[in-house]
Structure 1
Amino acid sequence: MFIDELVKRIKEKKSNVVVGLDPRIESIPKIVKDQCFEKYGNTLKAVGKAILGFNKEIIDYVYDIVPAVKPQIAFYEQYGLEGLKAYIETCKYAKEKGLVVIGDIKRGDIGSTSEAYSNAHLGNVNIEGVIHETFAVDSITVNPYMGGDTLEAFIKEINEKDKGMFVLVKTSNKGSGQLQDLEVAGKKIYEVVAELVDEIGKQSLGKCGYSSIGAVVGATYKEQSKSLRKKMPKTYFLVPGYGAQGGTAEDIIHCFNEDGLGAVINSSRGIIFAYKNAGYTEEKYGEAARTEALKMRDAINKVLIANGKCYY
């Protein structure tokens, strides 16, 4: 199952770090962009090639020290078909390197539309008897705020094809409370969603004791993560908000269970654009990303050990 494979990689690499592959063309090193722009001009194709080359270098430097990567599809979709080609090739390359791939797509709809999203991102499509995989990812993020029936098609693919998903529960952005913190029948909306995730997750439990149906819980809301951990004891948390958004290793400690498992922590800009920090040149952007990923891994492990939650 997806969750068993993820936990296996976490233990092997002694790391709960997920590298978010959210490429911003303006932040990609000039040496990478210039090569592509000289060959293809100032075109969408040039941008797609630059993104792919940049991502491959990052993956080459982190694949042996982190369990997973999380490409955010919007950073690719904005460049149309060329951007999506870069997304597809990035996912394939990451899987070839032995990484778990979480497609950050935040889809959510009902009926046949939800089924189409599920076919694209978790399953496959049947073209006159020939089966094709569209996007090579192991798990996705899903938006449940149209209701529980938005998740049904995804759950089917998860159980049939050993895939996974992380459902948005309490997100890291400042405005999340505007809707997620509203009270309904004495409960916050995010608490209602958490109970839904906990319930549906029971049908996708792995041998590790956790479910392949996880939850997105922001690092920037440590008190809420503490209560959500209790509400969803067998749910794996995907935790955004570390680093550039202000989250620290101390902030995310309550996302973990006493076994030291239960959460993977995402950092995007803080790792992939670490070369901008003092002491690095743009030619060393891969090396800088590796150093930052190791620093993050060690900081999280230090806090886990200090709290008696060592998982290795």
Structure 2
Amino acid sequence: MSPLEPFGTRLRHAMDERGPLCVGIDPHASLLAEWGLNDDVTGLERFSRTVVEAVADRVAVLKPQSAFFERFGSRGVAVLERTVREARAAGALVVMDAKRGDIGSTMAAYAESFLHKDAPLFSDALTVSPYLGYGSLKPAVELARDNGAGLFVLALTSNPEGAEVQHALRPDGRSVGATVLAHLAAENAGQRPLGSFGAVVGATLGDLSSYDLDINGPLLAPGIGAQGASAADLPAVFGGAVRNVVPNVSRGVLRHGPDIAALRESARRFADEIRAAVGSG
């Protein structure tokens, strides 16, 4: 498949072929310790390569959390570059979880770091924050579109603090979160089979029927597993948009490492449960 095909097209194909599961790569110190690894660059590299070896050839999406690599400085970023490269070579789409958000030339530079096809950290999609105004994301939107990449924009996050911003009402009576969703729907208008500009929407939020989640784009849904949501909850939370949900599971899979067979079995089980729930939705 051409890397210049739009991210939404490639994601739809990957979800249909491999099941709609995103596995996080979150090498925080406590998880490295659980794996019997040191909290250093060597442990970071062993952890990341094990996850890639275990599941990159069988799940739709891998989502490295950039912060857990950046904390080791340039050597950690080098591990992140290899992780992205090897995961994509094995057939997984990579969503870089960096939650970048700024204005003007700074936002453009962040976009160049992750969304330009020649960048060492080029990823299939990037998480971004719109809370300097959705228009501040324009450089990332344009570069993603030019390079066949995508964005996942924070819209309705599951952390309690998010509500004070995302549920706030604008003068027109619409919430900030709903406004972000409307912008994404406009970006994706007319795109088939799926637009490339998605939203981050927590799977733990319960009934979201008051929001229009039908943005013709993917919905990255953290919260499955350790955070308390289950695959069976997805239809009630996402309603008619459930087929476009990309549920993210991190600790629920990663806690089974470093045993590769156990990691694979856990990912397979989550993918099967999610596929069944989406089918029933």
Question: Do they superpose with TM above 0.5?
Answer: yes
Tell me if structure 2 keeps the 8 A contact 1:237–1:264: yes
Match of 1:216 among 194, 197, 200: 200
| Cα distance in 2 between the residues matched to 1:73 and 1:200 | 26
Aligned counterpart for 2:135 among listed residues 139, 146, 149: 149
Q: Is the 8 A contact 2:169 2:175 kept in 1?
A: yes
1:149 deviates by 2.1
Hey, what's the Cα distance between the residues in 1 that align with 2:166 and 2:160?
Answer: 11
Q: Report whether the alignment pairs 1:196 with 2:200.
A: no
Residues 92-103 of structure 1 mapped to structure 2, 5 A cutoff: 92-103=85-96
Encode CA deviations 1:117-141: one digit per residue, 9 max, x unaligned.
Answer: 11111016xxxxxxx5231311000
Distance 2:156 2:229 in 1: 14
Q: Which residue of 2 aligns with 1:11?
A: 16
Q: Tell me the equivalent position of 2:81.
A: 88
Residue 28 of structure 1 corresponds to 32
2:155 maps to amino acid = V
Larger-Rg structure? 1
Q: Bigger shift: 68-77 or 193-202?
A: 193-202
How many angstroms does 1:26 deviate by? 3.1
Cα distance between partner residues in 2 of 1:227 and 1:291? 36
Whole-angstrom CA distance in 1 between matches of 2:213 and 2:228: 25
1:105 lines up with 2:98 in the alignment: yes
Q: How much does 1:200 deviate?
A: 2.5
Q: What amino acid does structure 2 have at the position aligned with 1:211?
A: G
1:246 match: 228
Which of 43, 48, 64 is the equivalent residue of 2:57? 64
- State the distance in 1 between where 2:137 and 2:214 align: 17
1:220–1:246 CA contact under 8 A, matched in 2 = yes
Q: TM-score, normalised by structure 2?
A: 0.90
Question: Kindly tell me: are residues 30 and 216 of structure 1, through their superposed partners in 2, closer, same or farther at Cα, counting changes over 3 Å?
Answer: closer
Work out the number of aligned pairs and report it. 275
- The residue type paired with residue 95 of structure 2 is I
Question: What SS class does the counterpart of residue 246 from structure 1 fall into?
Answer: coil
Which shows bigger deviation, 110-119 or 294-303?
294-303
Which amino acid in structure 2 is aligned with residue 304 of structure 1? V
Q: What SS is found at the alignment partner of 1:184?
A: coil
User: Is contact 1:49-1:86 (8 Å) kept?
Assistant: no
User: In the alignment, is residue 183 of structure 1 matched against residue 154 of structure 2?
Assistant: no
- Are residues 254 and 166 of structure 1, via their aligned partners in 2, closer, same or farther at CA, if it must alter by over 3 Å? farther
1:207 to 175, 188, 192: 192
Shift of residue 165 of structure 1? 0.4
- Contact 1:255/1:262 (CA < 8 Å) preserved in 2? no
Most deviating of 56-65 and 115-124? 56-65
**Any stretches of 5+ residues in structure 1 without a counterpart?**
35-45, 125-131, 276-281, 308-312
Deviation at 1:259, TM superposition (A): 8.2
1:115-194 to 2 correspondences below 5 Å:
115-123=108-116, 132-185=118-171, 186-194=173-181
Structure 2: which 5+ runs fail to align?
Answer: 1-5
Shift of 1:187: 2.0
Task: Tell me how large the CA RMSD over aligned residues is.
Answer: 2.1
SS in 2 for 1:26: helix
Query: Matches of 1:198 and 1:259 in 2, distance apart?
Result: 12
**SS of the residue 1:84 aligns to:** helix
C-alpha separation in 2, matches of 1:296 and 1:240: 13
Residues 1:53 and 2:38 aligned together: no
The code of the aligned residue for 1:59 comes to: V
Residue 165 of structure 2 aligns to a residue whose secondary structure is helix
Segment of structure 1 superposing worse, 257-266 or 81-90? 257-266
When residues 156 and 233 of structure 1 are mapped into structure 2, their CA distance, relative to the original with a 3 A threshold, is closer
Paired position in structure 2 for 1:292:
266
> Structure 2: which amino acid aligns with 1:134?
P
SS across alignment from 1:222: coil
